[in-house]
Amino acid sequence: CSIIQSELWAIWHGLRLLQYKGINRRALLETDSSMAVKLILEGCPTTHPCYNLVQQIISLLGHEMSISISHIFREANSTADCLAR
């Protein structure tokens, strides 16, 4: 899949894990993909190949979760960068 699809899948899996564990208190979702943040927060065109995945993420965010989404630079998250390698 594309880079943006893999970022969105990672976000989806993370949200599902929070839901599965029953963690519905405040959480911060940080990603180094500004495009993923933009698609989630500003909407995704119906013609975009990730439209359905973005809609699933938005749906998960609406289920009693208080999650803030933000873009961070890769260098700011050395742990995730190390795991990605």
pLDDT at 55: 95
Distance, CA of 30 to CA of 69 (rounded, Å): 6
CATH number, position 67: 3.30.420.10
Over residues 29-40, mean pLDDT: 87
Tell whether the model's pLDDT for residue 26 goes beyond 90: no
- Residue 46 pLDDT grade (very low, low, confident, very high; cuts 50, 70, 90): very high
pLDDT at 33: 85
For residue 71, the surrounding DSSP H or E stretch is strand 66-71
Q: What is the dihedral of CA 28, 31, 32, 34, to 10 degrees?
A: -100
Q: Which residue has the tokens 């990672």?
A: 10
Task: Look at the chain and report how many structural domains it folds into.
Answer: 1
pLDDT at 56: 93
Q: Rounded to the nearest 5 degrees, what angle is found at the Cα of 75, between the Cα atoms of 71 and 81?
A: 90
Tell whether the model's pLDDT for residue 62 goes beyond 90: no
Please count the other Cβ atoms lying within 10 Å of the Cβ belonging to residue 16: 13
Per the prediction, the chain carries an average pLDDT of 81
pLDDT at 8: 93
